[in-house]
Structure 1
Amino acid sequence: MNKNYSHDGFMKWHLSILFIAITFFGCKKETKNTDINYAYIGGEIINPNTNFIILSKDEAIIDTIKLDGRNRFLYKVDNLNEGIYTFRHGGEYQMLLLEPQDSILFRLNTLDFDESLVYTGIGDKKNNYLINDFLENEKEEKHILKLCQLKPLTYQKHIDSIKDTKVAAFNSFKKKYKTSPLFEKIAQANIDYSYYSSKEVYPFIHYGKNKAAILKTLPADFYDYRKDINYNDVFLSHYHNYNLFLRNYFKNLSLSVHGDHSNDEAFNRNSLCYNLDRLKLIDSLVTNTSIKDELLYYFTIDYISKSKDAEHNDKLLKSYLTKSSSEKGKTMMENYTKSLNSLKEGSKLPEIDVVDYNNNELKINSLIKSPTVISFWSHTYYQHFKESHYKLKELKVKYPEINFISINIDDYEIDKSKKLLSGHGFDSKNEYKFKNLKLANETLAIYPLTKTILIDKNRDIVNSNTNIFSIKFEEEVLGLINR
């Protein structure tokens, strides 16, 4: 807990807000205004990345809410459209359910965003249930990956047991607390789609390389639930479990379609043919424009970001452009693909301006005088920040011949990054920020964040998209030294 803020202090503040709210509503009653279509949201941000949060619903921004001098805020949502709302802060986001007359407060620490989030106030029980369910699902997804190595019937028994436990907990919650039909619909959908997703991911994650053979071993009723699925559910289109299910479903369904005309015994998820099949399936089965565009974008950028074949990238891009209705998405994808293709092996690293932690502006190529590894990090992905810097610390000792450069990609003042580095005992030497973040992101096609660029002593690109956590990374480093 932050030493400047106690739980008692938070509760006193909470009670003060409620007192103000009660007084306010008392005055409203005197004017005989019977409108109850509102909700309050408030809270405190520990270690804030910015001085505001952004509240939105269904991707439409409702308001930008400023934090006060103590990093707190209180906001009234008038003309409430009940349902799931999203609040964003410094690149992170989380959801909460707002219904009429809710008065919800939360407190979170940006260094542990989801895990530190706790709700209090009117409407807190349902939201704490949903956030705990979200966190449990994150753990469950990792557990499912291990279970996928079991035989089909054994696997099904395990995931059936997981679902039964969730249903029992949900029924217990409904007996203990008063719940609304809207909350029950959302909670039940979370349970169902988490279960369905576990079914879809099984053949894809199973260690067997012949996916067609694995599909044939599944019980006849393994996918019976599919006949009742709505692949264009607008209500659920912004929900994590539903979107995860759709992604896993199209990965899995594409296996069957691809297998019908592929002679490969070992499945290759990076096959252009497989990825083209997947885009075709999405285009044929999803009619809702926003859901279709999101799926098309997700799978296209996932493929292109990992591919080093410019010709294949262009073919998948062409397929994406003919199917997507999002002009913004199409422009972003074209620019990303163009940038990525320009970073092919043997090319020169584009000239980008960076700033060191003494505020000196430098050309990035002026830093490359020996074999170089360039990696990136962000405050938003705190765990990656820590793990990548510990990994780099280890690599610097093992490979003194290599120049390791680390660049922060946040749009914040340099002092914040410097403070985070020093607070964890990391040296700011060879640490930089971009002078023009937007231009640098586009030019270097920085996606995903784990992307690492290898440059030889002649300033030629050796690999524009590797990963310091890859099991092959140190082999690549040795190759870089010996060039």
Structure 2
Amino acid sequence: MKELKLVFTLMTAAFVLVSCQKDAQVEEGSAYFGGEVVNPKNNFVILSRAENVLDTIRLDENNRFLYKIENVEKGLYTFRLWASEGLEFQMVLLEPHDSLLFRLNTLEFDESLVYTGRGAKKNNYLINMFLDGETEDKTILGFSQSPPMEFERKLDSIRNYKLTKLRQFNSKYPSSETFNSLVKGNINYDYYLSKEVYPFVNYANNERSNFNKLPKDFYDYRKEIDYNYCELMDYFPYYSFLKHHFENIALAEHFKKSNDSVFNIKSLSYNLIKLNLIDSLMTNDSIKNSLLAQTAVEFISNSKNPEEYDTVLKSFASKNTNTKNYQYLNNMVGSLKGLKTGEGLPEVTLVDYRNNELDLNTLINKPTVIYFWSSVYRSHNDSHRKAEELKVKYPEVNFIAINATSNNQANWKKLIAQFNYSKDNEFMFKSPEIAKHKLAIAPINKVMIVDKKGMIVNAHTNMFSIMFEEELLGLLNQ
């Protein structure tokens, strides 16, 4: 369940930051936010509110900081810092007169995070709820194969337990309306998310059949959905719910107009329906633009049909109001059209561990897998582990790892040493933004396969796909 909830963030990190675009809930009174970072990987913390970076705050000689927010806008804030596996982030609830301090160890980011001071109890509650969710996801996945009525009964039990815990907390530590709205929203939309995902995790591999077996009132909660829930707009469970909710209702509409019986993310009809539903139901431009962009990126990343790129881009453009998102999608489509099967790779300059500059094409002298990574995403370690497994199974294939975002050689080398990656197969781009455009690197964990002559076999695949090894075998048997 956790993987299902999180996988899409790799594709949409550039689009997810949103803002509520209504009158800010600003009250007289400041708030203090500070903390101590154990084993810091860099000497600063980035504090943000929605789309806006408030400040980059330096750590002192004791790896501590304290920051004052004047006339604080009550709600969720995000703090980011470099940790053992890259750039990590966590959300914190701040309200007027809070004086909140945290302590964390970058080696165990979320698990070590503890708050003290005024505002600590509510934030410790939130972080514990987040950590408990990881265990809860496994529990829900375990009974997702149950019949709908049994699944619903068990899911109801989990939600009621969490609501009871909230009431007990409030009886002991009376909390603000903002806190209670946030926690109840989290509980409810996490519950809704599990129900939206249910037809997709059933191993029958026939979503139409799964839909037909659901009780008529299974989705009655949809009458209560707030498509403009400002208090949760920046909170991951709400965005994750919306993403899967639109997948679900778009698929139901698609089934009415087709003979399909399974979920096919490459279906043009399904994706156009999804774009239309997002446009018609979402009222907040920021989150609507994010969902539209995520849908378009996901489709274009999976489709191999250039004509369909244009159809989806046109639909997206008619609904999107974010100029940067349109430019990103338009550039992506242009780059993908240039990466045709059977043609060579564009010229891209790499830098190796010894600071030598070389063209990507000069590295290819046998069937090659090129995979990309970034320290911003934790998944880079998974990608490297998968590549090492495949190297053993397919020694005839060369594997090249390229850091797609770093422009700092010292930091890049530090990461390679930290994770013990092979120095001989690791590279970075000399000009990351130019290279990412030329190679259409979206999502960041995309993979390219080329033959021994450097001709493109697949410009957009995934090492974790069940079909990936079949692609490699097909290449080796040519």
TM range (shorter): 0.7 to 0.9
Question: Corresponding residue for 2:448?
Answer: 453
Question: Corresponding residue for 1:38?
Answer: 30
- TM-fit CA distance, 1:389: 2.3
Does residue 1:332 correspond to 2:328, yes or no? yes
- TM-fit CA distance, 1:70: 4.2
Inter-CA distance 310–478: structure 2 relative to 1 (3 Å threshold): same
Inter-CA distance 262–145: structure 2 relative to 1 (3 Å threshold): farther
Q: Residue deviations 1:389-447, cap 9 Å, x none? A: 23322332332222211112343532333233333433211111111111122222222
For residues 466 and 459 of structure 1, what CA distance do their matches in structure 2 show?
A: 16
TM, length-normalised to structure 1:
0.87
Q: Which amino acid aligns with 2:140?
A: I
**Residue 204 of structure 1 contacts residue 251 of structure 1 at CA under 8 Å; is this kept in 2?**
no
Q: Which amino acid aligns with 1:61?
A: V
For residues 139 and 306 of structure 2, what CA distance do their matches in structure 1 show?
A: 36
For residues 414 and 109 of structure 1, what CA distance do their matches in structure 2 show?
A: 25
User: Identity across aligned pairs (percent)?
Assistant: 50
Q: How does 1:243-254 map to 2 (within 5 A)?
A: 243-254=239-250
Structure 2 residue corresponding to 1:428, chosen from 411, 418, 423: 423
Does residue 1:399 correspond to 2:391, yes or no? no
RMSD: 2.1
Inter-CA distance 221–297: structure 2 relative to 1 (3 Å threshold): same
For residues 221 and 271 of structure 1, what CA distance do their matches in structure 2 show?
A: 28
Question: Corresponding residue for 1:102?
Answer: 98
Question: Corresponding residue for 1:51?
Answer: 43
For residues 318 and 107 of structure 2, what CA distance do their matches in structure 1 show?
A: 41
Of residues 162-171 and 210-219 in structure 1, the stretch that sits farther from structure 2 once superposed is 210-219
**Residue 75 of structure 2 contacts residue 231 of structure 2 at CA under 8 Å; is this kept in 1?**
no
- TM-fit CA distance, 1:348: 1.4
Does residue 1:468 correspond to 2:463, yes or no? yes
Of residues 367-376 and 469-478 in structure 1, the stretch that sits farther from structure 2 once superposed is 469-478
Question: Corresponding residue for 2:370?
Answer: 374
For residues 56 and 169 of structure 1, what CA distance do their matches in structure 2 show?
A: 30
Structure 2 residue corresponding to 1:478, chosen from 468, 473, 476: 473
Secondary structure at the aligned position of 2:453 is classed as coil
Question: Corresponding residue for 1:279?
Answer: 275
TM, length-normalised to structure 2:
0.88
Does residue 1:387 correspond to 2:394, yes or no? no
Question: Corresponding residue for 2:20?
Answer: none
- TM-fit CA distance, 1:251: 1.0
**Residue 36 of structure 1 contacts residue 101 of structure 1 at CA under 8 Å; is this kept in 2?**
no
Question: Corresponding residue for 2:71?
Answer: 79
Q: Which amino acid aligns with 1:434?
A: F
- TM-fit CA distance, 1:303: 1.4
Q: How does 1:354-373 map to 2 (within 5 A)?
A: 354-373=350-369
Of residues 436-445 and 212-221 in structure 1, the stretch that sits farther from structure 2 once superposed is 212-221
**Residue 31 of structure 2 contacts residue 94 of structure 2 at CA under 8 Å; is this kept in 1?**
yes
For residues 479 and 300 of structure 1, what CA distance do their matches in structure 2 show?
A: 29
Q: Which amino acid aligns with 1:102?
A: D
Secondary structure at the aligned position of 2:215 is classed as coil
For residues 130 and 259 of structure 2, what CA distance do their matches in structure 1 show?
A: 40
Does residue 1:270 correspond to 2:257, yes or no? no
Inter-CA distance 391–215: structure 2 relative to 1 (3 Å threshold): closer
Secondary structure at the aligned position of 2:454 is classed as coil
Unaligned runs of 5+ in 2: 1-26
- Give the number of aligned pairs: 448
Inter-CA distance 62–258: structure 2 relative to 1 (3 Å threshold): same
Structure with greater Cα Rg = 1
Secondary structure at the aligned position of 1:366 is classed as helix
For residues 338 and 237 of structure 2, what CA distance do their matches in structure 1 show?
A: 36
For residues 51 and 273 of structure 1, what CA distance do their matches in structure 2 show?
A: 49
For residues 90 and 192 of structure 2, what CA distance do their matches in structure 1 show?
A: 23
For residues 343 and 140 of structure 2, what CA distance do their matches in structure 1 show?
A: 41
